[in-house]
């Protein structure tokens, strides 16, 4: 087998590559490291839960409506920590820069990182920089790693029958924005990435009630995230089509490009499984935060397997995980 772009797209094909990359004997024996393929790993230390994660970021274009590679780099790592209940403390940043990259653009990227760090109360504490000859890569690659502290660990495999499925806002915004930019499609400024640091939102939700499972629907979108959550939890999820939050501009762009908006990346969204008794309280907490004003309950967890959409016309269909990402290099 040779590695191809599909292996890095976050869909089902990526699982083949992960089987190779995680074939290690020396890994966290606690079951919440590489074994679980969660958003991060947990390191118990002196009675504390230290959450650790890392991610590399490649985006084309580097700057897009709503953000840039710097904002994604910080938000992606902060959100991975938050999905496990971790309050972000410190981040590292490694940049690999192509010769000829504009220093003014670097300044914009660093400023975006600084703003995102300020939003979530974390700090950039160490880093590394490499410069490669022109043509060795496409502009810039940014890697960030982060550590956080969690009072209570939340994993993506904790769904139980009866849980309500919540999302904090409209789906598909980031992926469709990137795709529209590449295709030179104009929607009057209505398409904009949702990239945002979610720790403040998640903290409010966790204070309002119990959360059984969380995941941010990045590569592979909502379809990939909800299928992974259901499969790991060994349950079925039923989603109501009329409850799915999608902007009109996202629907239009998706139809024009022949892409399912549920399969494209989001960079400021969270999918939560919440007990029925706490669902309304957690929903209210999400809606009280700027990044959760459009939060909705979109479905529930039942016994069985698969993710099933109840359509507007009264039918049913499977929500399948994507084989690969229809919009590569978006995060």
pLDDT at 330: 79
> Which CATH number describes the domain made up of 164-318?
3.90.650.10
| Residue 26 C-beta-side C-alpha neighbours within 13 Å | 0
CA distances (Å), origin 311, targets 97, 238, 248, 261? 47, 11, 18, 16
pLDDT at 7: 47
Any idea which residue has 């698969």 for tokens? 306
DSSP symbol at 59 = B
* Below-70 pLDDT ranges, the chain: 1, 3-39, 324-328
Neighbours of 142 (CB within 10 A): 24
Domain ranges of the chain: 42-150, 164-318
CA distances (Å), origin 238, targets 166, 187, 216, 233, 318? 12, 32, 18, 14, 9
Q: Which CATH architecture has domain 42-150?
A: 2-Layer Sandwich (3.30)
pLDDT at 308: 98
Q: pLDDT tens for residues 85-136?
A: 999 999 999 999 999 999 999 999 999 999 999 999 999 999 999 999 999 9
Judge if the upstream peptide bond of residue 128 is cis by omega within 30 degrees of 0: no
Q: Are 174 and 193 in contact (CB under 8 A)?
A: yes
On whether the pTM is more than 0.85, the answer is yes
pLDDT at 2: 72
pLDDT at 326: 66
pLDDT at 10: 52
């Amino acid at each position: 087998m040779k590695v191809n772009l599909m292996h890095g797209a976050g869909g089902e094909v990526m699982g083949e590559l992960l089987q190779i990359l995680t074939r290690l004997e020396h890994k966290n024996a606690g079951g919440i490291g590489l074994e679980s393929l969660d958003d991060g790993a947990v390191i118990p230390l002196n009675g504390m839960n230290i959450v650790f994660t890392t991610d590399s970021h490649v985006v084309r274009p580097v700057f897009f409506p709503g953000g840039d590679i710097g904002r994604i780099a910080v938000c992606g790592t902060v959100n991975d920590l938050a999905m496990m209940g971790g309050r972000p403390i410190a981040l590292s940043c490694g940049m690999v820069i192509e010769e000829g990259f504009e220093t003014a653009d670097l300044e914009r990227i660093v400023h975006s990182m600084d703003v995102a760090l300020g939003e979530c109360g974390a700090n950039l504490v160490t880093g590394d920089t490499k410069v490669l000859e022109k043509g060795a890569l496409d502009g810039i690659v940014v890697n960030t790693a982060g550590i956080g502290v969690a009072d209570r660990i939340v994993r993506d495999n904790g769904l139980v029958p009866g849980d309500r499925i919540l999302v904090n806002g409209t789906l598909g915004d980031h992926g469709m924005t990137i795709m529209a930019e590449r295709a030179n499609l104009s929607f009057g400024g209505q398409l904009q990435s949702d990239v945002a640091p979610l720790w403040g939102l998640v903290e409010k939700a966790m204070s309002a009630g119990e959360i059984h499972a969380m995941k941010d629907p990045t590569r592979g979108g909502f379809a990939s995230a909800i299928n992974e959550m259901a499969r790991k939890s060994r349950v079925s999820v039923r989603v109501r089509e009329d409850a799915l939050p999608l902007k009109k501009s996202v629907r239009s762009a998706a139809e024009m490009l022949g892409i399912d908006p549920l399969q494209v990346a989001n960079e400021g969204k969270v999918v939560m499984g919440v007990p029925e008794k706490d669902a309304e309280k957690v929903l209210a907490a999400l809606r009280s935060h700027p990044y959760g004003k459009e939060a909705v309950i979109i479905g529930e967890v039942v016994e069985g397997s698969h993710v099933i959409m109840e359509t507007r016309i009264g039918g049913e269909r499977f929500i399948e995980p994507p084989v690969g990402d229809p919009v590569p290099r978006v995060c």
